[in-house]
Amino acid sequence: SDITITAKLMEKNIVNVTFDTATGSEVPSVDLYSGDYLEMPENPVDDTHDFVYWYSDDENTEFDFDQEITNDMTLTAKWAEKPLYSIMFNSNGGSAVDSDLVMEGYMASEPNKPDLYGYWFVRWYETDNTVGYDFKIVSYKKVQSCMED
């Protein structure tokens, strides 16, 4: 006589993982089956912070993506503030020029030219007065003016 063997099926539970980036770029939530592994998403971006890692409960503990996900959860982005650099301007005896604070990854603004009676302003420079300072890079050193009479 014939034997019939029947498969017992259980519906897989779907879990949802959301990503809280605070002020960073959006990271879409992910649905997966309970017991599956979560792939690390692309890092979010924020203008004033650097992304450090994702965490679930303790912000001082990086989330381990090599674990099974069995429940809905929210992962939160941990951020570190981008440093500020002070740009100081030495006007070489000319009129005073205020220093500038520049966040890492941003360009410094070229200040007004200093005035000094009997001299023409030639350029801003960092160390070599024959090479103009490139205001498209971030520096934390003094920038001086080159004046000629």
Tokens 């099926």: give the residue.
9
pLDDT at 145 over 90: no
- What is the pLDDT confidence band of residue 1, given thresholds at 50, 70 and 90? confident
146: Cβ contacts below 8 Å, ≥ 6 apart? 92, 121, 122, 123, 124, 125, 129
- pLDDT tens, 77-135? 999 998 888 888 889 899 999 988 888 777 778 889 999 999 999 998 888 888 888 88
Q: Which amino acid is at 73?
A: M
| Residue 69 token pair | 């996900």
- pLDDT tens, 24-45? 999 999 999 999 999 999 999 9
pTM of the model: 0.65
CA distance 92 to 147: 8
CA distance 117 to 109: 25
pLDDT at 17 over 70: yes
Q: What angle do CA 14, 18, 22 make, to 5 degrees?
A: 175
State the pLDDT at residue 54: 98
b/e string for 49-74 if b means 16 or more Cβ within 10 A?
Answer: bebeebeeeeeeeebeeeeebeeeee
State the pLDDT at residue 139: 55
